[in-house]
Amino acid sequence: MFEIQATLAIGDEKMGNGFWEKVLRVDLTSGTITEERVPEEIWKRYLGGGGYGAKVLYDEVGPEVGALDDENRLIFSTGPLQAARQTGAAKFTVVAKSPVTGIFGESAAGAGWGVALKRSGYDALIIQGKAATPSYLLIHDNTIEIRDAAKYWGQDAFDSSDQILEDSGLEKASICTIGQAGENTVAIACIVVDKHSFAGRCGLGAVMGSKNLKAVVTKGSQNVPVHDQEKLNGINKNIGKTVHENTKDWLRLHGTPFVEVGCDADGDTPTKNWREAHWPEGAEKLGSPNYTDTLNAKPHGCAYCVVGCHRDIEISEPEAYKMKGPGPEYESLGMLGNSCLMDDVKALSHMNDLCNRYGVDCISMGSFLAFTMDCLENGYIKPADIGGVELKWGDKENMIALIHDLGNRKPGFGELFADGIVPAAKQLGDKALELAPHVKGLDLPAHDPRAYFSLALNYATGSVGPHHERGNPQVATAGFLLPEAGVTEIVDRFQMENSEFVAAKYQDYGTLTQAICHCKFMLFGGYSMTVLLDSVNAITGWEWTMDDMLQTAERIFTLQRLVNVTYGIDRKDDTLPAIIFKPSEEGSRAGKYPHDFDAALDRYYDLRGWDQNGVPKQDTVDSLGVF
């Protein structure tokens, strides 16, 4: 066992309001722990979260660095809101070059970890290098230790969370950990936070595993300085009441499974590997109210949150699916359920639990399974390719078996999909590749651009690839608008005209919340951009106008694009799977698909100030003050 401890002086320098202006850097190769001063000017320009993370990638991780190389950086970053003690303000963001896509990778999580890091006296944590043996990092205010994790290596994410926390001797600490999938550098491995929140997308758990880093335990006891506490208290009180009132009868009561039936009715949820538009009989069984009743589901929230959209569920029978803990979200229902035609909500909850414990992204896992079912049906995969498993649509027992195989990276299915859907499909041939629902290597999440056309440009141009939260323009069709950004009217879901504007504005909103580190679900409770601006100003004292804040979002999005341009991304990559251009013959979106996509992409580039190859123009970079 080795142990390095560095005691760092905190408190004798200037502290920016909402920011400590301090970043902790840990080099696992050398065991060096350093504290870096990052001035307020940088936070003002990039905010934190995915903004600060993009800057670190741009400055430190060149195109020659592979995602699983020691030289990749794993950046855990907070923003100003972690000073707020406000509903929705417990988020943080993890950034690295993604092993799934090879480009900008980013994922947000909640629970209490980001707040704990901030209260430790740091705005962000940068991890680089690779530990010689399995290790975990402990951050407790100004005590930082790299500790031996050999005895936890091989344990699932939940068991290791419990044991590491117990052995750490820290009460009420928060923990980010990986399961066996991350240890095995399975590309879709996620980071598990306090056993109920997940930095799910982009394979950041595999980056953690590649560094021999099992966990980061964090506990902080310092109050983050705030510019105007009285004003902030007033905002917190009012917005907490408003959000609670507006969400208590749906999002708090049922969580995201509330939307399952409605999304199916709109033809939004992927059905049978994106081949069909609706599956109402399955959606009824998977979504609420059946979900809530069958699973005895209760709300569970991140720190300070008045919504509690996460689900705590309990299954007592059958024995094989017995569990108590976090239940599936809508995305898991859509991908492991509708897309695989699997309608047993208890079996799905068990699969979700396995994914959580192995630490794999449920969205990609569901995508791999549905794709495999499709390929088997079409003869593009033979059962012998996946360990002799005859996987049929809805075949829950074999789905469970294959989740175990991927989590453990077993020969057959586990090895075939270990690097993601595109490397797997390439091994299987061109016809299989045509069935793989991805953009830039990342599996599509459970919303269909044929149901909401503005999703087409969002998925094609998103900084991490297709994402349901780095831009969720479909919510503009349901009245969750962004008037401060110019989205003032409900948007027709089948409208390509002006879809570039709607996509861009929700991408900017997603980028902003991801950098400020605030929960986008607050929008559903009436938390407007004006409240966000007032909160930022109360915390920082920056006296920003709305234009200042909107421009910052554009600046960060542009920086993320520049990171991707450096990694070789251009117009050829800003596309969609062929199936998205095939309309269904029946149902509520019969005959509909995001038509004239190339023309819309031209308009999008113009609006963004990018050239027709998708590269930000120098004028744009200069006028936004990207550097």
Q: What are the CA-CA distances from residue 235 to residues 273, 301, 530, 540, 546 (Å)?
A: 44, 20, 11, 14, 17
User: What is 509-528 written as a DSSP string?
Assistant: HHHHHHHHT--GGGGGGT--
64 exposure class (CB count in 10 Å sphere: 0-12, 13-18, 19+): exposed
Report if residue 18 touches ligand SF4, rule: CB under 6 A.
no
Beta carbon of residue 16, minimum distance to ligand SF4 (angstroms, whole number): 24
Q: Coil, helix or strand for 197? A: strand
When binding is defined by CB under 6 A, the residue of 179, 220, 301, 449 that contacts ligand SF4 is 301
Q: Is 88 in the site for ligand SF4 (CB under 6 A)?
A: yes
Which residues on neighbouring strands pair with residue 102, listed in sequence order?
none
Q: Report the residue number, 168 or 513, with the smaller CB distance to ligand SF4.
A: 513
List 186, 307, 424, 475, residue binding ligand SF4 (CB under 6 A): 307
Q: Nearest 10 degrees: CA dihedral of 618, 620, 621, 626?
A: 170
396 binds ligand SF4 (CB under 6 A): no
**Quick check: 587 binds ligand SF4 (CB under 6 A)?**
no
CB 80 within 8 A of CB 18: yes
Does position 309 bind ligand SF4 by CB under 6 A? Answer: yes
Asked if omega into 318 is within 30° of 0 (cis), the reply is yes
Please report, as residue ranges, which positions from 183 to 212 form the binding site for ligand SF4 (by CB under 6 A).
Answer: none
- Give Rg (Cα) of the chain: 23
Q: Which listed residue (254, 285, 310, 470) binds ligand SF4 by CB under 6 A? A: 310
User: Which residues are CB-contacts of 439 (< 8 A; sequence separation ≥ 6)?
Assistant: 459, 460, 462, 465, 466, 573, 575, 576, 577
CB nearer to ligand SF4: pick between 75 and 305: 305
- Min dist CB 311 to ligand SF4, Å, is 10
Residue 511: Cβ-neighbour burial (10 angstroms; 0-12, 13-18, 19+): buried
In the list 16, 270, 308, 587, the residue contacting ligand SF4 (rule: CB under 6 A) is 308
Pattern 521-540, binding to ligand SF4, x per CB under 6 A? x-------------------
Which of the residues 106 through 145 are near ligand SF4 (CB under 6 A)? Answer: 110
Neighbours of 373 (CB within 10 A): 24
CA distances from 217 to 124, 417, 462 (A): 14, 30, 31
Query: Which C-beta is closer to ligand SF4: that of 525 or that of 577?
Result: 525
**Region near ligand SF4 per CB under 6 A, out of 183-191, 305-313, 367-375, 425-433:** 305-313
β-pairing verdict for 4-7 and 22-27: unpaired
The single-letter code of the amino acid at 580 is I
Name the one range near ligand SF4 by CB under 6 A: 298-306, 421-429, 498-506, 597-605: 298-306
For residue 435, give the H/E element and its range: helix 430-435
Choosing from 439, 519, 549, 562, the residue that interacts with ligand SF4 (CB under 6 A) is 519
**What's CA 600's distance to the chain center, in Å?**
26
CB-wise, 305 or 515, nearer to ligand SF4? 305
The size of the interface with ligand SF4 (CB under 6 A), counted in residues, is 12
Least distance in angstroms from the C-beta of 221 to ligand SF4: 22
Nearer of residues 115 and 428 to ligand SF4, judged by Cβ: 115
Q: How far is the CB of 480 from ligand SF4 (least distance, A)?
A: 14
Distance in Å, CB of 89 to ligand SF4, minimum: 8
Q: Which stretch binds ligand SF4 (CB under 6 A): 265-273, 299-307, 476-484, 537-545?
A: 299-307
Q: What residue ranges bind ligand SF4 (CB under 6 A)?
A: 88, 90, 110, 301-302, 305, 307-310, 519, 521
